[in-house]
Structure 1
Amino acid sequence: MRKKIKETIVVEGRDDITAVKAAVDAELIEVNGFAVRKKTTLEKIRNAQERTGVIILTDPDFAGEKIRKTIEDYVPGVRHAYIGRKDGTRLKDGNIGVENASPEVILRALQDAKCKLIDRNDIFTPLDMLEYGLVGGDDSKEKRQRLGLELGIGYGNGKQFLAKLNHFGITKEEFFNAMKK
């Protein structure tokens, strides 16, 4: 069973998400490389830092370091996880990136960054999603979009949104207040 990580992990791209999800159970934010400079992306990272803490795990190259610096300048106090160039290099073509690291290497990097392993008891269930019209209705997608914006957790499909509610520690009170708005 994969270890659950309290912090939100920031990665560069979709392939990195796949690699990290193979190693741990955590909420991830994909910055799409240098698109990290978008204010909406940086605000999403800031919100995650306030709620859960953030660990940055970028490629061991120049671009990865620039992305780290951009985030750190905007969101002080983030932590950093590093993989070595050797562990992040694909042998057949020399491609360097988090997506090439083994789950063991990724977990070790996160533990070195002092991630918090958690035993999480989820507050929200799939039944809650159905009961509050966040799945299964004609307007469910729109409701999740508005609620995600109000709570500062972003959009997700039903399964992703449920995971975000629980990962970010949204309380029932916060949830109901946001639903009223």
Structure 2
Amino acid sequence: MEKSEPLTHISQVIVVEGKNDTARLKSCFDCDTIETDGGRLSPETLELIREAARTRGIIVFTDPDGPGERIRRKIMEAVPEAGQVFILKAKARTTRKVGVEHAQKEDLEAALAACVTFTKRPENTISWAEFLDLGLCGDRKKREAACRAFHLGPCNAKTCWKRMNLLGITKEEAERLVQDAGSNCHS
């Protein structure tokens, strides 16, 4: 009988939407999850998430779609220090569905390795005017490249700007990235 390699242990609790996400993650990693039951994030589940954040830390890993983003926002309001993991739709889809449960192990590992934690800062590290000057509002491909590079998850311009500030990304860092992304995304 062939020996399988040991599963990577994840010490934080991963918050997912449903049982299929749990099954997929547990088939790839030694981990614990809390399921939000899709869009129905009950007060009891939210309290369980808060308690897990206090005792072990949590990682929010919801589906890359509208309902997943709504759940993520609710959790971020309750537990702003939660780790955030994003996966591209293209890496988590079948012909008819999109979700964490459909991702390959390598893509799940890469997403978890790029876990980010957003923190509130007293002032913005990049102003809205600077964000606009970089062309991240008007050029969707450029913004998507920035979101991938900074592991922000797919987002519109306003959310991208907010997440860049939450990560403390400066104008200079964004400028370097935009220059690189601009040369790559328009070729």
TM-score (norm 1): 0.59
Alignment equivalent of 2:77, drawn from 73, 80, 91: 73
Q: Describe the SS at the equivalent of 1:9.
A: strand
* Alignment counterpart, residue 27 of structure 1, candidates 19, 32, 51: 32
Contact 1:19–1:102, Cα closer than 8 Å, also in 2: no
CA–CA distance in 2 between the matches of 1:67 and 1:21? 21
Aligned to 1:98: 100
Alignment equivalent of 1:49, drawn from 43, 47, 53? 53
The aligned residue for residue 64 of structure 1 is 68
- Paired amino acid for 2:50: R
CA–CA distance in 2 between the matches of 1:21 and 1:112?
19
- Offset at 1:114? 6.1
Note the alpha carbon deviations across 1:17-75, whole angstroms, 9 max, x for none. 11111121111001101211x11100100000011110011110011100000111112
Q: d(CA) in 2 for partners of 1:103 and 1:21?
A: 11
Number of aligned positions between the proteins:
112
In structure 2, the partner of 1:12 is 17
Offset, 1:97: 0.5
Aligned-partner Cα distance in 1 for 2:116–2:70: 22
Alpha-carbon distance in structure 2 between the residues aligned to 1:51 and 1:105: 28
> Secondary structure of 1:106's match?
helix
SS in structure 2 at match of 1:29: strand
Which runs of structure 1 show a deviation greater than 6 angstroms over 4 or more consecutive aligned residues? none
Alpha carbons 2:16, 2:60 under 8 Å: kept: yes
Partners of 2:74 and 2:116 lie apart in 1 by 21
Gaps of 5+ in 1: 116-181
Matched with 1:177 is none
Distance in 1, Cα, partners of 2:35 & 2:105:
18
Contiguous gaps of at least 5 residues in structure 2: 1-5, 118-187
Distance 2:35 2:43 in 1: 14
SS at match of 2:91: coil
- What is the DSSP-based 3-state SS (H/G/I as helix, E as strand, rest coil) of the residue aligned with 1:104? helix
Kindly report the root-mean-square deviation, in angstroms, between the aligned alpha carbons of the 2 structures: 1.4
Distance 2:48 2:105 in 1: 26
Could you tell me how far apart the structure 1 residues matched to 2:70 and 2:26 are? 24
Structure 1 residue aligned with 2:113: 111
1:15–1:84 CA distance, 2 compared to 1 (3 A) = same
Identity, in percent, stands at 35
In structure 2, give the amino acid aligned to 1:108: A
